[in-house]
Structure 1
Amino acid sequence: MLSTFVFDLLDEAYARAVLDDLRRILTADGLLCVASLSYGERPLERVACRAWNGLWRVAPQLVGGCRPISVSALLDPGWKLAHHSHVHRFGLVMEVVIASPNASQP
């Protein structure tokens, strides 16, 4: 399952519900790959992130309804993290997560 720049559009509770459904329908060897706008770590990225969040709060349509999120923080123990990285480009940060259903969790 591949999701690019979708979860940053969703309310946190709904995003968690979607992740629960995805875990339920993925096969034991299935993988979830998510790429999303994320929080800045470097000074320029933090400034860009604050500006983006400010625009999102006032006029979300100006930023396509997207806002920085932490995808890895949305994953509950029902997921086993296989890969986690951040891609830094032009003051923006994208988080990339690859996870599989955790067989030891219900």
Structure 2
Amino acid sequence: MRPSKQDEYRGRELTDQQVVRIYDSWSKWFFIIELLQGRRRKEGVALARVQPDEKLLEIGVGVGSSFLQFMRLIGTKTIVHGIDVSPEMLKKTSNLLVKNGLTNFDLRNADARSLPYESDYFDVAFSSYVIDLMPSAGRAKVAAELFRVLNVGGRVVLVNLSKRKQRQSIYDYLYRISPTLAGGCRPIHLKETLEQVGFVDVVREYRADLLPVEIITASKPAARPLA
């Protein structure tokens, strides 16, 4: 039996330890990667429509570029939360925030597949170029965790490496050659996964850049839709 589309990378995924080592190393020159990712990350931040004093969680804060934008939008009265698996990335983000005179943040070394937060807590969740690191089972866990920690009516914005359709892209081939070339990221389609865990109003927009991405917005309904 041929592997399904969801399982086509089985045996090629990076281990959690490999991911941490890569991103600890990349933290020293991540500004180069930001040249490729920054434009769509900013677009995702705008789509989050963050309001002052909203409770926000960013998954994968990286070097803090989007996290800093969110903190400026939310203000200084509310704690802004973020996680990353890379201790070095967390240091970079913390240093950036302190340099900008900000202290109302809570950064944690944590895994998005098991979020260290209570249920129904956040108004907004955001992630960019993180969930595409994970195999399909991991992506489903992240989607379920996002659903759990969001308030009723809460919204999520996700920016992922993607492709126009299910056919192969150059980034699929690069991943097969060496998963580390793109930091473990490969093209994904996440819309259906979000719908399966209960999100509604799921909208996927595709951007055919040098680094092609999908930008997904969705919300948590007042009540879980009937099956």
TM-score bracket, shorter-length normalisation: 0.7 to 0.9
CA offset at residue 103 of structure 1? 3.0
Going from structure 1 to structure 2, the CA distance change for 1:71 and 1:31 (only over 3 Å counts) comes to same
Q: 1:67 aligns with which of 186, 204, 208?
A: 186
Corresponding position of 1:85: 205
Corresponding position of 2:163: 39
Which residue identity lines up with residue 80 of structure 1 in the other structure?
Answer: V
Once the two structures are superposed, residues 27-81 of structure 1 have per-residue CA deviations (whole angstroms, 9 ceiling, x without a partner) of: 012111001011135xxxx7xx532111202210111111000021221150002
Which residue identity lines up with residue 216 of structure 2 in the other structure?
Answer: V
Corresponding position of 2:214: 95
SS at match of 1:40: coil
Corresponding position of 1:52: 171
Q: Which is strand-richer, 1 or 2?
A: 1
Looking at structure 1, the residues matched to 169 and 182 of structure 2 have their Cα atoms a distance apart, in angstroms, of 13
Corresponding position of 2:79: none
TM-score by length of 1: 0.81
Q: After TM superposition, what 4+ stretches of structure 1 lie above 4 angstroms from structure 2?
A: none
Instruction: Assess if the C-alpha contact under 8 Å between 1:9 and 1:65 holds in 2.
Output: yes
Corresponding position of 1:12: 136
Q: CA RMSD in A?
A: 1.9
Which residue identity lines up with residue 5 of structure 1 in the other structure?
Answer: Y
TM-score by length of 2: 0.40
Instruction: Assess if the C-alpha contact under 8 Å between 2:199 and 2:220 holds in 1.
Output: yes
**More relative contact order in 1 or in 2 (CA 8 Å, sep 6+)?**
1
SS at match of 2:214: strand
Q: How much identity, in percent, do the aligned residues show?
A: 31
Looking at structure 1, the residues matched to 144 and 197 of structure 2 have their Cα atoms a distance apart, in angstroms, of 11
Q: Please list every run of 5 or more consecutive structure 1 residues that lacks an aligned counterpart in the other structure.
A: none
Going from structure 1 to structure 2, the CA distance change for 1:82 and 1:71 (only over 3 Å counts) comes to closer
Corresponding position of 2:48: none
- Bigger radius of gyration among the two: 2
Q: Please list every run of 5 or more consecutive structure 2 residues that lacks an aligned counterpart in the other structure.
A: 1-124
Looking at structure 2, the residues matched to 70 and 63 of structure 1 have their Cα atoms a distance apart, in angstroms, of 17
